[in-house]
Amino acid sequence: MWCSRIALRRLQRIGVEVSACSAAGFQRAMSVLPKVYVTRQVPQDGLDILRKSGQVQFEMWDSDDPVPRNELLKKVKGCDGILCVLTEKIDAELLDAAGPNLKVISTMSVGFDHLSLEELKKRKICVGYTPDVLTDAVAELTVALLLTTARRLIEATHEAKTGGWGTWRTQWLCGYELANSTVGILGLGRIGVAIAERLKPFKVKKFIYTDVTPRPELADMIQAEYVSFDEVAKQSDFLAVCCALTPETQAICNKNLFTKMKKNSIFINTSRGGVVNQEDLYEALSTGQIAGAGLDVTTPEPLPTNHPLFTLKNCVILPHIASASYTTRNAMSALAANNLLAGLRGEPMPKELKL
Ligand SMILES: O=C(O)[C@H](O)CO
């Protein structure tokens, strides 16, 4: 349990009777502060904000590994707020375990597919999330993954290290270049725009995108043309998936998409593994329907090391690290803390998810 003298001063300011010298008084004072459970050891900036606020008493699962579900269900009991990460399923079972005091869920993620939005809405629980602060980091990683996959960098370093590098050869380890290419974006949002902005200097010829409806204000920023789902599949040399995982986008990248894609195309996914049918992707990669895939996200996570996708040279798999820069993770932690505190004060959150 983290307590603080700042909390004490704040209580005294708001008129709660406490004696600064008495431990019992301090304990009594703390017990009137909203109770928060933090489900993971989150980066320092967020913790500092919670501590210095003096606005909450919080307990944290002090580990970089997920809290076991049983422990989580016990710890949330009676909480007013929960600060979680994307590995915690926030569903009816958890909300029931927390009980009627729960007012705020603040997730340290832009993705919200781990939250049962309907349940949260029904119970009038506010939800905070962390868009924008991770856009640069995710876009950078997406570009890195795209180049790594298209120019076969993992295969190349392996060959260099293991004696496969016999001599310079004219066709050996050839890949695909961005110059004069068409880049497709599946689900145009802030991250898709940021990826396109970074790819433009590589002399991409054309950006196209598909979404439920055209998004002209975003598309204008990167001169992207709105096309149908089928056209984005047919025309793209590089297809970057940037949509949120929702019931509508579940497994949307399947046989239907891969069979329409060009044989020399590269598929990149830094959104959520659930948008891809992995059996169909394996089929497309192993039969040469598409040239390669770069995945930062899979189903499940971690992907078991004996998964067939790991056997393919033309599939680059990263362990969900798109937002993993020190700056971004701290910014996400700080925003999650500020969302939580604002929600508990009954004020608009800096980044509230509209339910
Ligand atoms: O949803 C998110 O925030 C990202 O997937 C984390 O990198």
With the most atoms of ligand 1 within 8 angstroms of its CB, the residue from 40, 42, 83, 109 to mutate is 109
- DSSP type of residue 316: E
- To the query of whether residue 307 is one of the catalytic residues in this protein, the response is no
Please give the model's pTM, rounded to 2 decimal places: 0.92
pLDDT digits (tens, 9 = 90+) for 164-216: 999 999 999 999 999 999 999 999 999 999 999 999 999 999 999 999 999 99
Atom of ligand 1 at shortest distance to CA of 332?
3
Residue ranges and CATH numbers for the domains of the chain are: 35-133+327-353 (3.40.50.720), 153-160+174-313 (3.40.50.720)
Q: What is the mean pLDDT of each run of 10 residues along the chain (355 residues)?
A: 49 39 58 94 98 97 97 98 98 98 98 98 98 98 99 98 97 98 98 98 98 98 98 98 97 98 98 98 98 98 98 98 98 98 98 97
* Residue keyed to tokens 């939580």: 340
Atom of ligand 1 at shortest distance to CA of 111?
1
Spatial neighbors of 318 by CB under 8 A, at least 6 apart, are: 141, 145, 294, 295, 296
* Residue keyed to tokens 């599939």: 315
Q: Does the ipTM exceed 0.85?
A: yes
Buried b (16+ CB within 10 A) or exposed e, 162-172: eeeeeeeeeee
Burial class (CB in 10 A: 0-12, 13-18, 19+), 223: exposed
Task: Pick the catalytic residue from 114, 158, 307, 320.
Answer: 320
pLDDT digits (tens, 9 = 90+) for 286-318: 999 999 999 999 999 999 999 999 999 999 999
- Measured over the CA atoms of residue 263, residue 264, residue 265 and residue 268, the dihedral's sign is positive
| Coil/strand/helix, residue 238 | strand
Which is nearest to 35 in space by CA: 95, 128, 101? 101
How many residues in the chain?
A: 355
User: What is the 110 CA–ligand 1 centroid distance (Å)?
Assistant: 5
With the most atoms of ligand 1 within 8 angstroms of its CB, the residue from 42, 86, 113, 295 to mutate is 86
Omega prior to 302 cis, within 30 of 0: yes
C-alpha to C-alpha distance for 162 and 301, rounded to whole angstroms: 29
Residue whose Cα lies nearest atom 3 of ligand 1: it is 109
Distance of CA 130 to the CA centre of its chain: 9
Residues with Cβ within 6 A of ligand 1? 86, 109-111, 134, 322-323
